[in-house]
Amino acid sequence: MKKQGPKYIKSELNTPMLNYREYYFSMQERLMNLLIGFLGGGVVGLVFYGGLFRDADGYRTAATYISDIIIFVIVGLIGYAVVTPIRKNSLQEKREVILTKQFRSLLASLATSLSGGMNMQEAMTAARNDLIHEYSKESYIVDEVEEMLAGTRNNIPLEDTIRSFGERSGIEDITNFGIVFAMTFRTGASLKDVVRRTDDIIGEKIEIKEQIRTAVTSNRTQFLAMMIVPVGIVMMLRVMSSSFAESFATPVGIIANTVALAIFVVSYFLGTKILDVRV
């Protein structure tokens, strides 16, 4: 397993700044993982493997209850292990979307201020005030702008703090902007044009992603329904038909269930891979 990187990386001011390339769960998110993965996996395990070791008359025995508990715990732990990285990727992608939109707001504010004749530090100060009103003082981008302004007050070049932000962001557009900004700043080229062009490019990408997301929403909903419906059907049949439930406890039933679950899991990962369209 790949070792997870640090949650924070020290900036040029020796300030711990968020490492956006790595996602760390909050306590609430860990509890949600446990609820979705462990409980969900345990229920699925009981649906497919519950009710083993019944007596000749079909009544539950002590071994049945013990096996149900063991199955619930084992499959629940497997479910938790599977769900955790899936939710981690999902939450990290969500954070990247938020950060990208906030960064675009920064660029739009900078472009307006630079067009009005402000220098870069004045434009950055004005952008901080705009971003606080648009988002909040605790938002990702406001923290980053505060660090950039603090750097300039301590004689740290602005291009260094912007480049550091780009490296920590893990987002290609922000990283590239940091590199281009440093080159532009040193050569004395037009910062206004660079900021405006970057804003336009990121805006176009966001619009394309929104169009793609809208186009695949119905397919994603159908896909999730197809993943849930088979489990619901099996659960309903087990409750409504005792003979059907008993067939699950036979060696052939156990093998069939295992094969079906394997196909189910493979289908899920293939489906998510197909629906994962990136720009």
Q: What is the mean predicted confidence (pLDDT) over 176-197? A: 79
pLDDT digits (tens, 9 = 90+) for 28-46: 999 999 999 999 889 888 8
Does the predicted TM-score (pTM) go above 0.75?
Answer: yes
Q: Give a yes or no: residue 206 inside a domain.
A: yes
Report the SS3 class of residue 189: coil
Q: Give a yes or no: residue 93 inside a domain.
A: yes
220-237: burial string, b at 16+ Cβ within 10 Å, e else: eeebeeeeeeebeebbee
Asked if 174 and 162 count as a contact pair (C-beta separation under 8 A), the reply is no
pLDDT digits (tens, 9 = 90+) for 71-128: 999 999 999 998 999 899 889 989 998 999 999 899 989 988 988 888 888 999 999 9
Q: How many domains does the chain have?
A: 1
For residue 190, pLDDT beyond 80: no
Q: Give a yes or no: residue 1 inside a domain.
A: no
Give pLDDT, residue 188: 65
pLDDT digits (tens, 9 = 90+) for 254-278: 888 788 888 878 877 887 777 666 6
Amino acid at 21: R
CA R_g for the chain: 26
Q: Give a yes or no: residue 2 inside a domain.
A: no
Positive or negative CA dihedral for 143, 144, 150, 153?
negative
What is the three-state SS of 131-144?
HHHHCCCCCHHHHH
Domain that holds residue 62: 8-275
Q: Give a yes or no: residue 96 inside a domain.
A: yes
Q: Give a yes or no: residue 218 inside a domain.
A: yes
Q: Which residue has the tokens 């711990």?
A: 16
pLDDT digits (tens, 9 = 90+) for 158-170: 888 998 999 999 8
Q: Give the integer Cα–Cα distance in Å for 22 and 1.
A: 15
Q: Give a yes or no: residue 113 inside a domain.
A: yes
Q: Give a yes or no: residue 230 inside a domain.
A: yes
- Which is more confidently placed, 75 or 244? 75
